[in-house]
Amino acid sequence: MTDAAWLKSVNSKREHEGRFDLLWNNGPACDSSIAQSQQPTTHMSHSRSSSSSMTSSSSHSQPERFDYSSGRWSPKERFWVAHQPFLLSRGYRLRPRYDPNWIPSWEQSGDPIDKTHCEDSIYNVKCILMDATRISDNCQAVIKLVEPWTDEIPVARYLSSQTASSDPRNHSVPVLDVILSPSDDDLAFLVMPLLLDFERFPFRRVGEVTEAFQQFLEGLEFMHEHNIAHRDACYFNLMLDASNIVPNGFHFIRRATEDGVKPIKELERWSVRPVKYYFIDFELSTKYPAGATHVMDVGFLGQDKSVPEMSLTVPYNPFKVDVYQLGNVFLGIVDKYDDLEQFRPLCLAMTEQDPALRPSAAAALQQFEAVVRSLTTADLERRIWFRHLDPIWRF
């Protein structure tokens, strides 16, 4: 199986939820010893595979499961081992584990070593994504496998263009590089900065929340102004640049650690503001023709399955879906923390069941800014807590 066929097979089996939680089947065949015959599952318009197809496929014999406790390369990781020399030649260094000449560190000592204490024992389950270091400046990056014939690369590159990047409202993840596979024209490596989930660290002050909401609304307004619908403006596609919050960095897999072992020490967002927030994952995004109005589209897309109008057959306004999806994320934050009730009317407006009653992204931003203008400096600095947290722990 070619690398692109493997990626297509994975994509057809994935549930399009903005994350890359791969099935526990074998990955790309990087040598004949791990080649597997996998057939892509048919799907339509990015909808979930039917339960009947999943049932029928599960009845077939499954390949023997890999023993992840061994610390060895998994079949899926072998793809990256095979491409490590090429990526190194293009200026990106993978972790030592993916060097083709890798010898496990726990086997290099005469004394018994618990491999779980060794960074190079940490395997990557989400093999569509891999972390790397850009050699020229030591920048921490993430490399995503993509199919170059989809809209993902054109949309991401458009949003990273010099003109788009000059607009301060643009909060789309920058594209550092696009590298075509040396062995498969249907596969490419999309290189971006390494970011963290936007709520990886709890919000502690009202102003931290307003900073995040402001940037996400600006970013959505900017995309829509350029006739780009994200189509998955949901929780797991909202990120932050953690370089100031965790100055010593974080491990790509064990994100609560600096190096896979040592716990991170994070700083309060408010103390290192401004914090930069980004939209990621333009896999489902669509750029409509410039000047097009009354855009309508179909498709059951994204992580949020509660969008009332989404359909495979009945056209809907994709921009209003973006507003609903982002509004639902905001509503989750307002529900989770105390002292954010001033933002609830905005969240409820953005998640109106009737899309005609929802504000545009630009109108939602204006409504948000009106609320922020009513807040004093003391209001923004006020400490917030999880609603469920017992007062005894609030200090």
- Taken in order of first residue, the domains within the chain and their CATH numbers are 3-193 (no CATH), 196-241+276-393 (1.10.510.10)
Residue 32 has pLDDT above 80, yes or no: no
| Length of the chain counted residue by residue | 395
From residue 47, alpha-carbon distances to 59, 144, 305 in Å are: 22, 22, 11
Task: State the pLDDT at residue 389.
Answer: 63
Read off the pLDDT of each residue in 174-184 and give the average, rounded to a whole number. 96
Answer with the residue of higher pLDDT: 46 or 76.
Answer: 76
Token match 């499961």: residue? 65
Q: Which residues contact 373 (CB under 8 A, 6 or more apart)?
A: none
Read off the pLDDT of each residue in 193-198 and give the average, rounded to a whole number. 98
Answer with the residue of higher pLDDT: 259 or 368.
Answer: 368
Residue 23 has pLDDT above 60, yes or no: no
In terms of Cα–Cα distance, which of 142, 236, 243 is closest to 194?
142
Residue 58 has pLDDT above 90, yes or no: no
Residues 121-137, buried b or exposed e (16+ Cβ, 10 A)? bbbbeebbbbbbbbeee
pTM score, whole prediction? 0.83
d(CA 236, CA 281): 9
Task: State the pLDDT at residue 40.
Answer: 31
Q: Mapped to the 3 state alphabet, what secondary structure does 112-140 carry?
A: CCCHHHCHHHCCCCCCCEEEEEECCCCEE
Residue 19 has pLDDT above 90, yes or no: no
Task: State the pLDDT at residue 60.
Answer: 53
Task: State the pLDDT at residue 72.
Answer: 86
d(CA 267, CA 93): 28
Residue 295 has pLDDT above 60, yes or no: yes
Residue 342's Cα: distance from chain center in Å? 29
d(CA 79, CA 76): 6
In terms of Cα–Cα distance, which of 2, 195, 4, 190 is closest to 87?
190
Q: Across the chain, what does the average pLDDT equal?
A: 86
- Lookup: tokens for 303: 């992580």
What phi, psi does 6 have (nearest 5°)?
-60, -45
d(CA 236, CA 224): 20
Give the number of other CB atoms < 10 A from CB of residue 371.
Answer: 14
DSSP conformational letter for 263: B
The CB-side HSE value for 352 (13 A sphere, CA atoms) comes to: 13
Task: State the pLDDT at residue 67.
Answer: 75
User: Please, which pLDDT band fits residue 8 given cuts at 50, 70 and 90?
Assistant: low
Task: State the pLDDT at residue 55.
Answer: 39
What phi, psi does 196 have (nearest 5°)?
-120, 155
Q: Which residues contact 56 (CB under 8 A, 6 or more apart)?
A: none
Token match 């057809």: residue? 12
d(CA 122, CA 114): 12
Q: What percent of the chain stands above pLDDT 70?
A: 82
CA torsion sign for 382, 386, 392, 394 is: negative
**Which of these ranges, 37-46, 83-92, 193-202, has the smallest mean pLDDT?**
37-46
d(CA 254, CA 250): 8
Judging by DSSP bridges, how do beta strands 188-193 and 196-197 pair with one another? unpaired
pLDDT digits (tens, 9 = 90+) for 313-338: 999 999 999 999 999 999 999 999 99
Residues 317-333, buried b or exposed e (16+ Cβ, 10 A)? bbbbbbbbbbbbbbbeb
Q: Which residues contact 157 (CB under 8 A, 6 or more apart)?
A: 175, 178
